[in-house]
A and B are shown apart, each in its own frame.
Chain A
Amino acid sequence: MNPPSAAAILLAVAAAIAALVIPFLGMPLLTDIDFRICALAMIAISWNMMAGAGLVSLGHSAFWGLGSYAAILSANDLGAPFVVSLVPAVVAGGLLGAGLARMTGRLRGIYFAISTLATSEGLRVLATMLPDLTGGGNGLYLDSTLFPGNAAISLAIPCGAIVAALIAWAISRSRYAFALRAMRNNEAASQMLGVAPIRFRVGIMAVAGAIASLAGAINAWHGGYLDPGVAFDLKTTIDAQIAPILGGVYTLPGPIIGAIATIAFEEFTRALFGGMVGISLLVFGLVLVAVVLVLPQGLVGLLRKTRRR
């Protein structure tokens, strides 16, 4: 991989600073958009990390939802304050990722994708059917005495996104990047060359799972309410894949650019069609189909192509 240009580094740092500063400007609308972009960037980076190793996830809501429940339950039942409650969320997400990697050890492509889908739906059923723990279908409110204030939460999410981006960057600069790319292209061949796919799979999925769980946990504090439908919403899974696809799959800036573009798109369709139910997801679907057909390299690919000309 080529070292990033000075302009790219500058842009990335500027974006990071902007994401951190916006919550303090006292503009609720902008703060909200900042929050959503950062949360989406986190799950998009996480999704892209797995896709980079050839693991297509259709179940990112599993990590997200598990993280949400881990944070809220440790706060409500154990009295954990905001930052402390994020720890069990990260651990739970990492364990789910590693466990799923172990379990699906030999599955690839579509089979892997289906097993992630089944996992997230299975967790949703589990959360519904264990009302003593999760409040079941009635849902569960965060203990409001623990609420750390909007500023802390609005600051936590850009921090999380920056950490996620740095982890992705560190992986892309390390030699693991080569092993993961080899796994994506041909897992059997990579094994022949001395890569132990299962080790890398467990590692990358633990990291990706922890990141997505962290995003879900922070978002749960932001929302203050959880039920199985909210926690394991299919929309999370869809978002997690749309952003990197739109931005440019397998690339470093792709998920982040995609997250910004996706939220911009969402706001745009909302402004255009107002409260018409379903339109925004309809447009999402069309974008997904169009991007896969016309622009498989995403916006990053488009940028690179125009620059080369």
Chain B
Amino acid sequence: MTNLLQLLIDALLMGGLYALMSVGLSLGFGVVRIINFAHGEFVMLGAYGAYWALTLLHVDPLLALPFLIVLGYLGGWLLFRGVVAWVLKAPALNQILLTFGIALVLQHIAVVLWTGDVRSAMPEYALSTTIIGDVFVVHGRLIAFLVAGTLIAALTTWLRYSETGRAVRAVAQNHDAAILMGINPGRIYALAFAMSTALGIASGAIVSFLINITPFMGFSILLKAVAIVILGGLGSIAGTVISAFILAIAETMVAYYVPEGAGWTEGVAFAVIVGILLVRPRGIIGSALAT
């Protein structure tokens, strides 16, 4: 039984991180209606940001986090105004290819600048553990979970109560009605995209001390995030968070109980994507359109 408890704790801590990775993607899709295939690359850039802060400036990833979030916000805003905004009215084909191209560019800028070497940021808490009863809790994972939880809570509060946050939700729900209420959708799009980028960068910063950092890490992260967002229903934050935990638990169980499970875990996300698209394309808490 303790084994099961340990697995659940591991999955829970992982789920928080998955949630943060996917919430940004979900926000971007819900408001701007573009699936950003470069989202995984934002996570990658965030991880490198934290890594360089630690190795070059001896700044802890957690201290670097606020700066990275601001940088991510500015970068996302520029990317939106400079590039993404031009295809908002274009066919889906152009939007898909554009963000795919951006992903390719960011990924290989990283290859050129920092080579393909595998790195990892190792602050003191990355590997230290506490034992509660029979359960091991790795401090790094716990911290990542807490940071992710805080950021998601802040995002939800902001969306729910602030004037701008409500404008964002209004645009997401009904673009035309929002314009009639005097909201400038262009501004809201830029804001939401920038916020989504900042969330990607933030998850990168806290991923930096949990997994290996390479220029190519973004793609598998993106696929997991896409699986989670689709499972939760495109554009639903609550659905995204719930399905992040579902995926984390499913992956942990597969890794542990299936023979050679560690290899199969990579497949869980794809099985989820295909399954949910076939059975219930609206997701579990689906408010998103099925077009």
Contacts and interface: CB of A to CB of B under 8 A. Distances in A.
A289 B96 contact: no
A234 B230 CA distance: 21
Interface residues of A, number: 43
B274 interface: yes
B101 interface: yes
A129 B223 CA distance: 19
A249 B101 contact: no
B273 A118 contact: yes
A109 B92 contact: yes
Nearest to B103: A285
Interface in B171-230: 215, 219, 223, 226-227, 230
A114 B98 contact: no
Given A106-B281, A125-B267, A277-B111, A119 B103 contact: no
B94 A296 contact: yes
A282 B101 CA distance: 9
Contact of B223 (A111, A121, A278, A281): A121
Nearest to B35: A110
A278 B108 contact: yes
Interface stretch (B5-13, B63-71, B83-91, B139-147): B83-91
Interface residues of B, number: 47
A126 interface: yes
Contacts of A110: 35, 92, 95-96
B265 to A, nearest CB: 9
Contact of A285 (B101, B264, B274): B101
Interface in A92-132: 103-104, 106-111, 113-115, 117-119, 121-122, 125-126, 128-129
A contact patch SS: helix
B154 interface: no
B266 interface: yes
A119 B278 CA distance: 13
Given A51-B93, A122-B271, A276 B102 contact: no
Contacts of A271: none
B43 to A, nearest CB: 17
A108 B112 contact: no
B4 interface: no
**Which 4 residue pairs of A and B lie closest in terms of their CB atoms, listed nearest first?**
A285-B104, A278-B111, A288-B101, A282-B108
8 contacts: A110-B96, A114-B273, A118-B274, A121-B270, A122-B270, A276-B112, A282-B112, A292-B97
Given A125-B263, A292-B94, 12 more contacts: A114-B277, A115-B273, A117-B226, A238-B104, A241-B97, A279-B108, A281-B111, A286-B105, A287-B101, A288-B100, A293-B86, A296-B90
Interface of A: 51, 56, 58, 103-104, 106-111, 113-115, 117-119, 121-122, 125-126, 128-129, 234, 238, 241, 245, 249, 276-279, 281-282, 284-289, 292-293, 296
